Amino acid sequence: MFQINKVRANHVIDHAAEELKKYLRMMMPEEGEVEINYDPDAKEGFRLGLLEDFGLPNEAEDVTLDDVIHVDTTEKGGILAGSNPRSVLFAVYRLLRENGCRWLYPGVDGDFVPVKMIEGVKYHKLPDHRFRGFCNEGSESQLCMMEAADYYAKLEMNVYMMEWFIPRGYYNRYYDHKFNEANRAPESVSDQQIRQWKVAIEAEISKRGLMFHDIGHGWMTKPFGLPANNGVIPQEVLDSFTPKDKEVLALVNGKREFQDGKKPIFTNVCMSRPDVRTAIAREVADYAEKSGHVDYVHVWLADGTRNHCECEECLKKTPSDWYLMIMNEIDEELTRRNLDTRIVFIVYVDTFWPPKEITIRNPQRFSLLYAPIFRSYSSSITEDTVTPPVKPFVHNKWETPVSTEENFAYLKEWQKIWPGPCFSYEYHFWRHQYLDVGSLAIARRIYEDIRGLKYMGLDGFVEDGSQRSGFPNAFPVYIFAETLMNRDCDYDAVLEDYYTHVYGEDWKDVKALFEGVEKVFEFAYMEGERSVDLKVSKYYNPEYAAKFVKVPELAARARMLSKAHAIMPTRPQTVSWQLLGYYAEYLEHWGRLMTAKALGNNYEAEEIAQRFKDEFGKYEVAIERYYDHGLLGHIVGHVKKITNKEIVW
């Protein structure tokens, strides 16, 4: 009988012990019970605790943030330790992984657990990047959110961010079944239900000791009694706000009004007003005071662009200057209340241009988040990257930085005045994953982008993306997690390992299929970077229509492979081949849509796009653990009509 001995009392270590017990039993079902004890003096069995409990060195710069993972075991037991309780859980998963376990998708259908006797492992690792994780986005169900927290921990990701006070928009896109009205009736959920669900996810995050990052947008409205949640605000609610209520809003084109389609969350405020800055600082401090479970509070400006206040006082400083004044006032208020809350401020849209006058007075409290939402995903930063000069800041009329290199130039300007930690907020798993029909281009871009973090002075990624990023498989998520742990991992080796486990011995056939799809649906074209006439469409290029004639052949190949592998030895393999069958029809829809767009038949494309959403939406229930139909519908909706405009929700 195996023994698990916890040498330290901690709720995350409790969970680590239960996980070890579960998977040991699954691996060795004939070996009987696995006993769990609390024994600080244990010398036998699998012993779980912090590095210091075993007299082991700890190279973590900050033991609460850095995950040193230590495994030193035999077939009978040994030490599973970490720099913090979360790292002990990671040590358990690393032991199991080195013994052949894999977590290939969220949920039980993604667990690959071999039947074998446990073997000894020696492993010690400080991950190459501090921040490794996801933020909610897309259309989300509570089930997928809960399973995501479990999945991220198994992949040794340490950050889970929940954006917004109440993420109404993300939940309502799923429960109202936006873009799938033809197949599913709305089943709306209330703000109270969403708030309870968010708390439940917070509990799952805490259970695993993951770093909880919270809020982001909303601080420009909540202190003033205006809606602070994403999602549709009823017109009668908007009409209820009087001109006096709107006095705090930015003056734009001579009016203090809701901007960007009359959305409060997209609207900035008059930051030159001392009472406005004070109200924001107090709201943040109030939230921090009652939210001790939050590791980082993100304080971002409005989610809109080019709508900063044009009043005489506000024009005396850049938005970034006013923004950092707010950060300093937040720090003062938190200090006055004796709160050590960590705050994240963001380089995003208007604040891409660094301040000219103001600096942060207490850098120890803050981290900078670099969010290059406008960047191209056709290139990555390398040690040889040459950055162009930054474009001048013109209040509410600045020119969008597009290339990856150009975006990086703005970060370099910020880093000249910011001495503290920086990490990135990225968008691979937002719209870009659905523009990569073959799934391999975005995986390679993720790998290259993470390898470029070293040259950018960034300490990791938090991804703004769907928690259901597993269609046609979850390799992009897998390589994301693996490269953040080890930037020198071999891309091809990780791909082979993942594909071997999800498809079995015929994995090369699937890889070849996706490579063929990638040639047809060239990623740069799908990103809208190959148009020969933007006045027609971002996708107008008749030469590409000739490529799409190959789509029926590729779809037929996917169907044949799926049917030939209907019953497989493991559940992840069965699921993966089933997904390939759905993927065949998915390819056909994309082929028809992009043929029309390539030829400039925009009206036909609108009809095809609607059929795509309606017809493929019939499968949403069957594959929704892996596939985000709401996000797909959003992207298809933009592809059918967009020309040379920025894509936002």
CATH code (residue 455) = 3.20.20.80
Helices within 138-190 (DSSP H only):
142-154, 168-175
With pLDDT > 90 as the criterion, what percentage of the chain qualifies? 96
- Tell me, yes or no, whether 442 and 562 share the same domain: no
pLDDT band for position 556 (cuts 50, 70, 90):
very high
- Tell me, yes or no, whether 293 and 248 share the same domain: yes
Read off the pLDDT of each residue in 336-344 and give the average, rounded to a whole number. Answer: 98
- Tell me, yes or no, whether 357 and 481 share the same domain: yes
What is the C-alpha to C-alpha distance for residues 283 and 278, in angstroms, rounded to an integer?
9
Residue 356 has pLDDT above 90, yes or no: yes
**576-624: per-residue pLDDT in tens?**
999 999 999 999 999 999 999 999 999 999 999 999 999 999 999 999 9
Identify the DSSP state of 260: T
* Predicted local confidence at residue 646, as pLDDT: 45
Read off the pLDDT of each residue in 556-565 and give the average, rounded to a whole number. Answer: 98
Last residue in a domain, options 95, 125, 155: 125
* Neighbour count for residue 12 (Cβ, 10 Å): 20
**84-125: per-residue pLDDT in tens?**
999 999 999 999 999 999 999 999 999 999 999 999 999 999
pLDDT band for position 513 (cuts 50, 70, 90):
very high
Last residue in a domain, options 486, 502, 518: 502
* Predicted local confidence at residue 649, as pLDDT: 40
pLDDT band for position 640 (cuts 50, 70, 90):
confident
What is the C-alpha to C-alpha distance for residues 22 and 356, in angstroms, rounded to an integer?
56
- Tell me, yes or no, whether 374 and 522 share the same domain: no
Type of residue numbered 231: G
Type of residue numbered 286: D
Residue 643 has pLDDT above 70, yes or no: no
Decide if 639 contacts 179 (C-beta within 8 A). Answer: no
Residue 280 belongs to what domain range? 134-502
Identify the DSSP state of 455: H
What is the C-alpha to C-alpha distance for residues 320 and 350, in angstroms, rounded to an integer?
8
- Tell me, yes or no, whether 485 and 507 share the same domain: no
What is the C-alpha to C-alpha distance for residues 423 and 457, in angstroms, rounded to an integer?
8
User: Does a structural domain hold residue 434?
Assistant: yes
**313-325: per-residue pLDDT in tens?**
999 999 999 999 9
Read off the pLDDT of each residue in 386-398 and give the average, rounded to a whole number. Answer: 96
Identify the DSSP state of 300: -
Question: Which tokens belong to 116?
Answer: 């074998």
Decide if 267 contacts 249 (C-beta within 8 A). Answer: yes
* Predicted local confidence at residue 648, as pLDDT: 44
Cα–Cα–Cα angle for 149, 145, 103, nearest 5°? 45
**9-20: per-residue pLDDT in tens?**
999 999 999 999
- Tell me, yes or no, whether 395 and 541 share the same domain: no
Supply the angle between the helices 85-98 and 142-154 in degrees, to the nearest 10.
80
What is the C-alpha to C-alpha distance for residues 139 and 174, in angstroms, rounded to an integer?
5
Residue 570 has pLDDT above 90, yes or no: yes
User: Does a structural domain hold residue 644?
Assistant: no
Length of the chain, in residues: 649
Decide if 579 contacts 571 (C-beta within 8 A). Answer: no
How deeply is 54 buried, as exposed, middle or buried, from its count of CB atoms within 10 A (0-12, 13-18, 19+)?
Answer: middle
Sign of the Cα torsion 144, 146, 152, 157 reads positive
User: Does a structural domain hold residue 645?
Assistant: no
- List Cβ neighbours of 488 (8 Å cut-off, separation of 6 or more): 128
User: Does a structural domain hold residue 648?
Assistant: no
Helices within 217-311 (DSSP H only):
235-239, 274-290
What is the signed CA dihedral for 79, 85, 87, 92, rounded to 10 degrees? 50
User: Does a structural domain hold residue 649?
Assistant: no
3-state helix, strand, coil in the chain (%, to 5): 45, 15, 40
CA 232 to chain centre: 22
Read off the pLDDT of each residue in 337-357 and give the average, rounded to a whole number. Answer: 98
482-512: b (≥16 Cβ within 10 Å) or e: bbbbebebebeebbebbbebbbbebbeebbe
**120-142: per-residue pLDDT in tens?**
999 999 999 999 999 999 999 99
What is the C-alpha to C-alpha distance for residues 484 and 446, in angstroms, rounded to an integer?
10
588-598: b (≥16 Cβ within 10 Å) or e: bbbbbbbbbbb
- Tell me, yes or no, whether 116 and 203 share the same domain: no
Read off the pLDDT of each residue in 402-429 and give the average, rounded to a whole number. Answer: 97
User: Does a structural domain hold residue 425?
Assistant: yes
Type of residue numbered 263: K
With pLDDT > 70 as the criterion, what percentage of the chain qualifies? 99
How deeply is 88 buried, as exposed, middle or buried, from its count of CB atoms within 10 A (0-12, 13-18, 19+)?
Answer: buried
Decide if 229 contacts 266 (C-beta within 8 A). Answer: no
Last residue in a domain, options 502, 517, 548: 502
Decide if 92 contacts 16 (C-beta within 8 A). Answer: yes
Question: Which tokens belong to 521?
Answer: 């649906």
What is the C-alpha to C-alpha distance for residues 452 and 182, in angstroms, rounded to an integer?
43
* Neighbour count for residue 383 (Cβ, 10 Å): 8
* Predicted local confidence at residue 232, as pLDDT: 82
- Tell me, yes or no, whether 544 and 487 share the same domain: no
Question: Which tokens belong to 252?
Answer: 């734009």
Decide if 610 contacts 596 (C-beta within 8 A). Answer: no
Among 542, 528, 521, smallest CA distance to 643 is for 528
Residue 260 has pLDDT above 90, yes or no: no
Cα–Cα–Cα angle for 203, 132, 456, nearest 5°? 150
What is the C-alpha to C-alpha distance for residues 489 and 499, in angstroms, rounded to an integer?
16
- Tell me, yes or no, whether 520 and 498 share the same domain: no
Decide if 583 contacts 551 (C-beta within 8 A). Answer: no
pLDDT band for position 1 (cuts 50, 70, 90):
confident
Decide if 368 contacts 335 (C-beta within 8 A). Answer: no
Among 607, 589, 245, smallest CA distance to 437 is for 589
Identify the DSSP state of 75: S
What values do phi and psi take at 351, rounded to 5?
-90, 10
User: Does a structural domain hold residue 646?
Assistant: no
- Tell me, yes or no, whether 463 and 362 share the same domain: yes
Task: Indicate the number of domains in the chain.
Answer: 3
What is the C-alpha to C-alpha distance for residues 356 and 362, in angstroms, rounded to an integer?
18
Question: Which tokens belong to 236?
Answer: 């009668």
- Tell me, yes or no, whether 475 and 517 share the same domain: no
How deeply is 560 buried, as exposed, middle or buried, from its count of CB atoms within 10 A (0-12, 13-18, 19+)?
Answer: middle
Residue 34 has pLDDT above 70, yes or no: yes
- Tell me, yes or no, whether 489 and 614 share the same domain: no
Residue 40 has pLDDT above 70, yes or no: yes
Among 345, 273, 285, smallest CA distance to 316 is for 273
Question: Which tokens belong to 202?
Answer: 């917070």
CATH code (residue 95) = 3.30.379.10
Question: Which tokens belong to 465?
Answer: 């993306």
Question: Which tokens belong to 431?
Answer: 């719209």
Type of residue numbered 573: Q
Read off the pLDDT of each residue in 241-264 and give the average, rounded to a whole number. Answer: 94
* Predicted local confidence at residue 642, as pLDDT: 59
Bond prior to 472 in cis (omega within 30° of 0): yes
User: Does a structural domain hold residue 383?
Assistant: yes
- List Cβ neighbours of 251 (8 Å cut-off, separation of 6 or more): 270, 309, 310, 311, 314
